[in-house]
Amino acid sequence: MKRILIACLLALLTALSVAQSTTPKPKSPVASASAPKLFFVFLNRAPNAPSYSKEKSEEIQAGHMANIKRLYGEGKLEVAGPFMDDTPLRGIFIFKAASVNEVKEWIATDPAVKAGRLVGDVHPWTPAKGEIHHPASDAAGMENFVMIIYHWGDKAKTAKPEEMQAAFQGHKKYQLELFDAGKTEIGGPFGDLMAADYVGVVIAHGNKEEGEKLAAADPVVQAGIARAEVHEWITAKGVFHR
């Protein structure tokens, strides 16, 4: 089993890397191995989250937003945004940091986390395609996207290495086509694949139905190696653009 999982990891990293020889690669937000790395944080509704009065809830939310602006202004937070559906998954952060522990310290400053309403789930993240920008002002408003979150599928535990590699090679080709067609903006694998159910994430244009169609046509999903969770999501306008 361990050998198969290691083979899965190698196949995934190979498949999700974009070959320099085939297409120009956009400038990466991570300049070198010694530079701060990106960390993707899922913000989940805390189990048994306490109830608060309307006034207190508004106070917590205002503090949450103020803390986001502070972290962004300090150059720690790269991207933030809520999901637009009512599920336990409430939103995401993308941090630039030296370590997971540093990210956890920053998350702990969030008033919604302190109040027991949100819990952060941190994963190292390396975008294989696309880049993050920093709008000069948040006055431009928000932009709608659909986020495709990949998890390991049932067949990932039993697939042969050659089956795994073929599925992810198909995934690589498919995702490159979507990016070149302007249907996706950024995506890549998480760096803790051996320890987590999550595989990676892709941020695409469209609504949930369109995102589900994109995910269903992905060869790695069709092979049962991965399954996709799709959510409508918003973030500041200008964070992702060509």
Pairing of strands 37-45, 118-125: antiparallel
- At 241 the pLDDT is 80
Spatial CB neighbours of 217, under 8 Å, sequence gap ≥ 6: 174
- At 20 the pLDDT is 28
Domains of the chain: 2-236 (3.30.70.1060)
Count of alpha carbons within 13 angstroms of residue 171, beta-carbon side: 33
- At 137 the pLDDT is 67
Q: What values do phi and psi take at 13, rounded to 5? A: -65, -35
Model confidence pTM above 0.95:
no
Question: In whole angstroms, what is the distance from residue 204 CA to residue 145 CA?
Answer: 6
Count of alpha carbons within 13 angstroms of residue 6, beta-carbon side: 3
- At 139 the pLDDT is 60
Spatial CB neighbours of 206, under 8 Å, sequence gap ≥ 6: 146, 183, 214
Contact 222, 168 (CB under 8 A): no
Please list the rounded mean pLDDT of every run of 10 residues in the chain (242 residues). Answer: 38 37 38 71 95 97 97 96 96 97 98 98 95 79 96 95 96 97 96 86 97 98 97 95 76
Question: In whole angstroms, what is the distance from residue 127 CA to residue 130 CA?
Answer: 7
